[in-house]
Structure 1
Amino acid sequence: MQFLDQEALTFDDVLLVPRYSDILPKDASLQTRLTRDIHLNIPILSAAMDTVTEHRLAVCLAEEGGLGILHKNMLIEAQAREVRKVKKFESGVVKDPITVSPKTTIRELIDITDKNNISGMPVVEGKKLVGIVTSRDIRFENNFDHVVSNVMTPKERLITVKEGVSRDQVMMLFRQHRVEKILIVNDQFELRGMYTVKDILKSLSKPQATKNENGQLRVGAAVTTGKETQDRVSALIAEGVDLIVVDTAHAHSKGVIEVIKWIRKHYPDQQIMGGNIATADAAIALMEAGVDAIKVGMG
């Protein structure tokens, strides 16, 4: 065994000596850049472990300004669903709200709202918005075989806005009309999204949250180098995952580098992290393969 004839230290061997400071804690900033496109208000990512990170922790951490990394020890569909839960939890705009048709029965409507934990849905015919139905509309409904068109608020009484309207304008409409949902439409009155007062208030109460350009909480997800990795990556990206983490115990390997190159080739704008590594050569190899961030530390 070879011994190095020089001082070697670990983290436990080192202490920082406190010195005078004229900076108050409230004036300190912990903002950092995880990748070129992802900024964090606190430099904390969660471990991609099945005992640590699923959607509940990912939501909490993103709300505080960090980023949760969903573990990969589940079926592809389950991990994609975890991403969807984070994305749906809070957003300035719900880009693809769940909808029903005028012919949907009250029984079917209740089943959908219970499964998705929502209180109301736009009603559409094709792409055209024709109304909205909420829990208030069916609260005293006894005949569950009635269809939605019998109880919904019709389009003539809806509060709608066009795409690109400012948040201040949306808040003014909420206060003016005392509604809980405002629908976004285009010039053809096709549904393009939805604001909810609940989401707006949540957003205002968490100004430090880590969000994308659509006001959705950001989330990462881990993948490995197995046979189903390409399908898993595609499913995660389809749900809007912000960061793919190619997560292995030893990332300076052919399998990891090939996965990173595949993701970069097929999804050139996707943010990618690779790890774990412990050497400069490994960092260079992952950067050349196309990662945006590197996870350092082994053992």
Structure 2
Amino acid sequence: VLLVPGASDVVPSEVSTATQLTRSLQLRVPLVSSAMDTVTEARMAIAMARIGGVGVLHRNMSIEDQALQVDMVKRSEAGMVSNPVTCRPDDTLAEVDAMCRRYRISGLPVVDESGHLLGIVTNRDMRFEEDRSVAVSQIMTPAPLVTGHLGIDPEQA
């Protein structure tokens, strides 16, 4: 295919690249990542969703791992985690470290029994603590934290 530059009557802002993938799913960008284990897992599916495409998770894993991958994708809608994995102040660093590895995340909000935010613990907080039996409350960054409400405009965030 040879594209020859020239004048055009097409106005780029009036062009739609939307594609109807299924009866109920329209993509803003006509990109679909392959359901291959070397191509699409949660990270790729999340990246594809953020640009308006879709990532098809592969099936070369256990049902439990497939469910975990889907859960990771759903939790990261639109770049904002709407239902984050959390921990409690009395959880140990070993428990939090295991959750971070399982969900492939670098930190967790720390909440009380009522779900109120008490602080955050990240891999930076845990990095130099050798005693993995230490409670999260001992090393977390406590509230007040900068937070945003559900539905906040990305520019405001």
CA contact (8 A) 2:75 2:82 kept: no
Amino acid at match of 1:144: R
More RCO (CA 8 Å, sep 6+): 1
Question: By how many angstroms is 1:122 displaced?
Answer: 1.0
| Gap runs ≥5 in structure 1 | 1-19, 171-299
SS in 1 for 2:117: strand
Question: By how many angstroms is 1:123 displaced?
Answer: 0.9
Tell me the equivalent position of 1:22. Answer: 8
Tell me the equivalent position of 2:53. Answer: 66
Do residues 33 (structure 1) and 20 (structure 2) align?
A: yes
Tell me the equivalent position of 2:78. Answer: 91
Task: Supply the distance in 2 between the matched residues of 1:121 and 1:128 (Cα, whole angstroms).
Answer: 13
Asked which structure has the greater CA Rg, the reply is 1
Runs ≥4 residues deviating over 6 A: 49-52
How big is each residue's C-alpha offset from its partner over 1:53-83, in whole Å with a ceiling of 9 and x where there is no partner?
Answer: 5445534544443323334465432322232
- Equivalent runs, 1:84-233 vs 2, <5 Å: 84-88=71-75, 91-126=78-113, 127-155=115-143, 157-170=144-157
- Equivalent runs, 1:39-54 vs 2, <5 Å: 39-46=26-33, 48=35, 53-54=40-41
Name the Cα RMSD after superposition: 3.4
Change (3 A) 1:25 1:73: farther
Task: Supply the distance in 1 between the matched residues of 2:95 and 2:66 (Cα, whole angstroms).
Answer: 26
Question: By how many angstroms is 1:147 displaced?
Answer: 0.9
CA contact (8 A) 2:112 2:118 kept: yes
Change (3 A) 1:44 1:77: same
CA contact (8 A) 2:45 2:54 kept: yes
